[in-house]
Amino acid sequence: MICVLSGGTGGAKFVDGLRQVIPSDQITLIVNTGDDLLWWGLYVSPDIDSIMYVLCGLLSRERGWGVKGDTFLCLQAMGQLGEPIWFHTGDRDLAVHILRSRLLAEGKTLSQATAAICAKLGVKARVLPMSDSRVETRVDTPSGEFSFEEYFVQRWYQDPVNSVRFAGASDAEPAPGVIEAILSADAVLIAPSNPITSLGPILSVPGVREALRGARGTVAAVSPIVGNAPVAGPAGILMTAQGLPCSIAGVAKAYEDFLDLLICDTRDARAAEALRRSGLRVQCAQTIMRSTEDRAVLARTVLSFACSNLLRDEQTSGTGTEESTFNQPKVDAATDQP
């Protein structure tokens, strides 16, 4: 079993790679819910949605969020009614928000609602919200404090950032299965997600960092920072605001208490050498995921680095090899489609 901690953009691309190279039912995802918001009275969980959609082949590749080929008639109509429309949700996407909101209103937890929606979408991987309690990422700027989506989508992440906090984290509990998944996984993979606003909320849930420190499998992170800049989005600004350099060293620092292995881009080979001297295991790979194939190649590479012990064990016991475990086409790629 592979456990992946993820946000919704870089994370979703990486998960798309993983699902191509291992069967989805061997993947447990622990997903950020710090970006969740109430929108038009509906409970929207942007990162869970992106992860569910990528796992069932519905994620829009062009936009990187929402359902491919979706229409936006409801958004238009809401605009005509004078309602806010800065957060875009397509019509089919909206159906998921309506269903989730109904399940929550009936008393289901976010974990239960997520499992129910995954089952309906035909998602074979286990998708766990980081917590069933509300933990909200709040971004403090000179213009005031905003939720993550207000800062990122409504205000186009143009504000200078003073600091980021995770409201509600200290009282939150990990969702059922989160700690067990981390502790028991053959490898725990930290997706190339924003270390502050995607991994930060997950790591702020009491017990999660401790579990990562106690994980029996290798804990490996893929850097979302390449050549001292994020591949996309505000990770650099947010890392600087939180006192971390925008570099692979900053990523390593964010995860320093539990990280066994950092996978960074080949462009960062020199910085990787410096990090190795500090004692961290660092491997370089092509980490920019442009094509579907790039995603699969990166996932396979990360698995071969992170699971080398496991592969050796399997080879010794004669139950499998790197070749048989990871290089075969994904078994359930077709059946995962809804």
- Residues lying near ligand GDP in the complex (CB under 6 A) are found at 6-11, 13, 47, 191-194, 197-198, 222-224, 226, 230-233, 235, 287-289
Q: How many CB atoms lie within 10 A of CB 162?
A: 11
Q: How many CB atoms lie within 10 A of CB 60?
A: 17
> How many Cα neighbours within 13 Å face the side chain of 143?
9
Q: Which residue's beta carbon is nearest to the bound ligand GDP?
A: 10
* Sequence letter at residue 232: A
Least distance (Å) from ligand GDP to the CB of residue 23?
Answer: 22
**Toward ligand GDP, which CB reaches closer, 51 or 311?**
51
Least distance (Å) from ligand GDP to the CB of residue 263?
Answer: 9
Least distance (Å) from ligand GDP to the CB of residue 270?
Answer: 17
Least distance (Å) from ligand GDP to the CB of residue 11?
Answer: 3
Least distance (Å) from ligand GDP to the CB of residue 140?
Answer: 18
**Where does the chain show beta strands of DSSP type E?**
2-6, 27-31, 37-39, 42-44, 126-129, 136-141, 144-147, 163-167, 187-190, 218-222, 225-226, 229-230, 261-265, 281-285
Least distance (Å) from ligand GDP to the CB of residue 336?
Answer: 20
* Sequence letter at residue 143: S
| Distance from C-alpha of 243 to C-alpha of 253, rounded to nearest angstrom | 10
**Toward ligand GDP, which CB reaches closer, 114 or 198?**
198
Q: Pairing mode, if any, of strands 281-285 and 261-265?
A: parallel
Helix (H) / strand (E) containing 203: helix 199-204
Are 51 and 331 in contact by the 8 Å Cβ rule? The answer is no
29: β partners = 4, 127
| Distance from C-alpha of 157 to C-alpha of 230, rounded to nearest angstrom | 14
**Toward ligand GDP, which CB reaches closer, 277 or 290?**
290
Least distance (Å) from ligand GDP to the CB of residue 169?
Answer: 17
